[in-house]
A and B are shown apart, each in its own frame.
Chain A
Amino acid sequence: MPYDPRLVQPMREELTRLGVKELKTVAEVDAVLGDPRGTTLVFVNSVCGCAAGTARPGLALALQHAIRPQQLTTVFAGQDLDATARARQYFSDYAPSSPSIALFRDGEVVHFVHRHMIEGRSPQQIARELTEAFDKHCATAAAG
């Protein structure tokens, strides 16, 4: 059962104020992930304070990096249920977890950060992992 929307709104805004686009419906997910061109990050948001509480700041730090994915998106697990389920169909090789982060390049998942890779890590450590992935997978796409 979803939480009170008023409770999760700050968790949404922590990402949207970074320029991350919320995908709240199946149609919105398909409009973005159905187009395989370029690089797209999908942040599976969560109310979990343990992991999401460091993952969101980690993403914020990573987005200060010069090289970034072309599209930044998020779905909210446990809140926007249909949109999250649809997004997960695009990375169905990976077990569902939240928070988690998928990085696509030309329709393929090229990097995936599971919840177990977030737990107990600092925002700085998470940001480092993300920026290394951005450098590896987004540099030429951004230049192109």
Chain B
Amino acid sequence: MSGHVFHPGHSELHGITVVLEAAPDLLYVGRYHEETDRGVLLHDVAEHRGLEGRDEFVRKTLKFGVRAQHAHILVPSDTVQRVARLVEWGGTSR
């Protein structure tokens, strides 16, 4: 089923819980909705600020789930550094 898009017309990541790295030193975990000219829209989003402890934050989120702090968040495209499925996250890139 990998790669299957449930809602035709949407990105492969639509409906998938992702980790999004954004500058400056922001990390979001949330359900990917879409990317438009305005940015990447995530739903039910947890946020981590700063470099320290971010891998631990992702590990805890993997085990205990997403403690959403924001119902929705729009991350400007020019700040997005990396987006990956939460279950495939390999650690921070810096």
Residues on A lying within 8 angstroms of B by beta carbon are 48-51, 53-54, 93-97, 100, 112, 114-117, 119-122, 125
Q: Which single member of A48, A53, A95 contacts B64 (CB below 8 Å)?
A: A95
Q: Which single member of A94, A100, A121 contacts B1 (CB below 8 Å)?
A: A121
Is A125 a contact of B65 with CB atoms below 8 Å?
Answer: no
Is B65 a contact of A94 with CB atoms below 8 Å?
Answer: yes
Residues on B lying within 8 angstroms of A by beta carbon are 1-4, 6-7, 15-17, 62, 64-68, 85-87
In the assembled complex, the CB of A77 is this many whole angstroms from the nearest CB of chain B, namely 13
Residue contacts A-B, CB under 8 angstroms, 7 given: A93-B64, A95-B65, A97-B66, A112-B65, A119-B17, A120-B16, A125-B1
Is A49 a contact of B6 with CB atoms below 8 Å?
Answer: yes
Q: Contacts A50-B7, A116-B87, A120-B16 known; A95 to B1 CB distance under 8 Å?
A: no
Is A96 a contact of B15 with CB atoms below 8 Å?
Answer: no
Separation of A65 and B89 alpha carbons in the complex (Å): 31
Separation of A122 and B67 alpha carbons in the complex (Å): 25
Separation of A122 and B85 alpha carbons in the complex (Å): 16
**Chain A residues in 8 Å Cβ range of B1:** 54, 120-122, 125
Is A51 a contact of B15 with CB atoms below 8 Å?
Answer: yes
In the assembled complex, the CB of A108 is this many whole angstroms from the nearest CB of chain B, namely 15
**Chain B residues in 8 Å Cβ range of A54:** 1
